[in-house]
Structure 1
Amino acid sequence: MEVSWGASGPEPGDNQALKPCLLRRNHSREQYGVAASCLEDLRSKAYDILAMDKSLAPITLVLAEDGTIVDDDDYFLCLPSNTKFVALAGNEKWAYNNSDGGTAWLSQESVDVDETDSGAELKWRNVARQLKEDLSSIVLLSEEDLQVLIDVPCADLAQELGQSCVTVQGLQNTLQQVLDQREEARQSRQLLELYLQALEKEGSILSKQQESQAGLGDGGDAVDTGLSREPSSEIALSSQILTVLKEKPAPELSLSSQDLELVTKEDPKALAVALHWDVKKTETVQQACEQELSLRLQQVQSLHSLRSISARRDSLPGEQQNPKRARQEPA
């Protein structure tokens, strides 16, 4: 992006707060402290402080750490104090310099970036240099960065890090383990989320059925007032539910929550006739079904509480969301 020399903007003499900045030329080790009120002010001072030929105008100001072109005064004002800038003149291109993100200058040969390098190679080299400075930064790398280092040929990475191939191979194995652990943690969270959603849906269905049964019960009482009630042999249970009740030693564990509710709502005498059981045995089974249904409802409530706690924890600041799903090597 080209910036016209003499473009309109706040005058350097305007009464504005001065922002301290660090300024240098491309491929240079010398940087200068500058206080500027706006971008135009910083450009103007760059010509004088860096002894740049004004015939090379316009110059471009970029962030030293990643080459981002800064061409907006509002964005400039949002940058923190002592932000590092590189002044590019003419057709110059920003080149990565390890000193921009670290604490020590490297030799010029290791800093210069060959223009023939591909973007992918530049990326893994930058990540490798970050890892070389501080090995503990592994925990801060994104899954994409981890995968980049894993995919790099062992010999190339060993040369970049100045280590043996055996050491680098162990490092890549460690990076793969970190990547696998993150993937397993994400899958576990997804499974738990799906499980909680299923339980919530089932709890909603049970709640609606209870309301419906309560409404039918009230209506039946109003209609049947004064009428004698005799147990009917007709029941609403399906043949599948009856088969489970007959054949399973603990049928309450084999029935869904909806089926359990249907069993508990049936008249014991009518159910006993359908199952060819005595009333006492039928009531015992119904009590077991009612206890199991109550236990499941308690589990739903507990899991809802767990979900709320997990949601609050995930909403805490500082957690990065991601990222592209990492590729895993086949086992």
Structure 2
Amino acid sequence: EKLGLAQSGVKVVLEQDGTEVDEEDYFNTLEKNTTLMLLTSEQYWQPPSPFRLRRIDGGSGDTVDGGRGLEGLLSRLQSDIGHVSLLGGCELELLSDMDPDSLTDIVPDSCFRTFLDQLKEASGRFLSDKRQAHEAMELLKLYHHSSTDPAPNAASIQPEPKRGTKAQ
């Protein structure tokens, strides 16, 4: 009531994972300082993020995704940058091709801009390293295939004996 929300249209969820808390006993099982969220019927839970990218109207009435796929990836990496070394080629390509300037319009934090620049550079290096490693593996496979292929070589070819002569 004090928050100006109708009691019947509000639900309580854990900020961490969106689990709905609808029983009094459940509150007793929560750890100290657990963060809860109050959501109205029009709201839905989203993972916590130090930044939010919003959907952008392109002017034509069409809604263009402002980077929702990129948002989750950036959020994960901001919480633990070490995950960048575990990303696949598609994710690294997405990061190395991102335009930090377009994201700073949405999230104007200067520290975040530095993070984006460094992440773009690092993901480009990791992508390059992965491609080089893949190419090296392909060359090794090709070499291995050619060295185990029973192709005749010049030293092992013996001329056939001429007809009418004895082979020695």
Q: When the two structures are superposed, what TM-score results if normalisation uses the length of structure 1?
A: 0.31
Task: Sort the Cα spacing of 1:138 and 1:119 in 2 relative to 1 into closer, same or farther, 3 A.
Answer: same
- Check if 1:192 corresponds to 2:87: no
3-state SS of paired residue (2:67): helix
Q: Which has the larger radius of gyration?
A: 1
- Check if 1:133 corresponds to 2:79: yes
Unaligned runs of 5+ in 2: 1-10, 24-40, 58-62, 163-168
1:153 corresponds, among 96, 99, 114, to 99
- How far the C-alpha of 1:150 sits from its partner, in A, is 1.8
CA RMSD, aligned part only? 4.0
Counterparts of 2:91 and 2:118, CA distance in 1? 17
3-state SS of paired residue (1:98): coil
- How far the C-alpha of 1:199 sits from its partner, in A, is 2.0
- How far the C-alpha of 1:182 sits from its partner, in A, is 0.3
Amino acid at match of 1:98: P
Residue 46 (structure 2) aligns with = 97
Amino acid at match of 1:129: S
Greater relative contact order (Cα < 8 A, sep 6+): 2
Identity of aligned residues (%): 13
Task: Sort the Cα spacing of 1:165 and 1:111 in 2 relative to 1 into closer, same or farther, 3 A.
Answer: closer
Residue 143 (structure 1) aligns with = 89
Select the structure that is richer in helix.
Answer: 1
Residue 218 (structure 1) aligns with = none
Counterparts of 1:128 and 1:157, CA distance in 2? 11
- How far the C-alpha of 1:171 sits from its partner, in A, is 2.6
Counterparts of 2:64 and 2:101, CA distance in 1? 18
1:179 corresponds, among 109, 122, 127, to 127
Amino acid at match of 1:143: G
Task: Sort the Cα spacing of 1:119 and 1:28 in 2 relative to 1 into closer, same or farther, 3 A.
Answer: farther
State how 1:177-326 maps to structure 2 within 5 Å.
177-201=125-149, 203=150, 205-206=151-152, 257=153, 259-262=154-157, 265-266=158-159
Amino acid at match of 1:261: S
Residue 19 (structure 2) aligns with = 31
Unaligned runs of 5+ in 1: 1-24, 34-48, 51-88, 100-105, 207-256, 271-331
Amino acid at match of 2:120: Q
Task: Sort the Cα spacing of 1:168 and 1:111 in 2 relative to 1 into closer, same or farther, 3 A.
Answer: closer
Counterparts of 1:112 and 1:175, CA distance in 2? 20
- How far the C-alpha of 1:200 sits from its partner, in A, is 2.1
Counterparts of 1:176 and 1:127, CA distance in 2? 15
Counterparts of 2:99 and 2:77, CA distance in 1? 16
CA contact (8 A) 2:92 2:124 kept: yes
Residues matched between the structures, number? 126
- How far the C-alpha of 1:130 sits from its partner, in A, is 0.9
- How far the C-alpha of 1:28 sits from its partner, in A, is 7.3
Task: Sort the Cα spacing of 1:97 and 1:129 in 2 relative to 1 into closer, same or farther, 3 A.
Answer: same
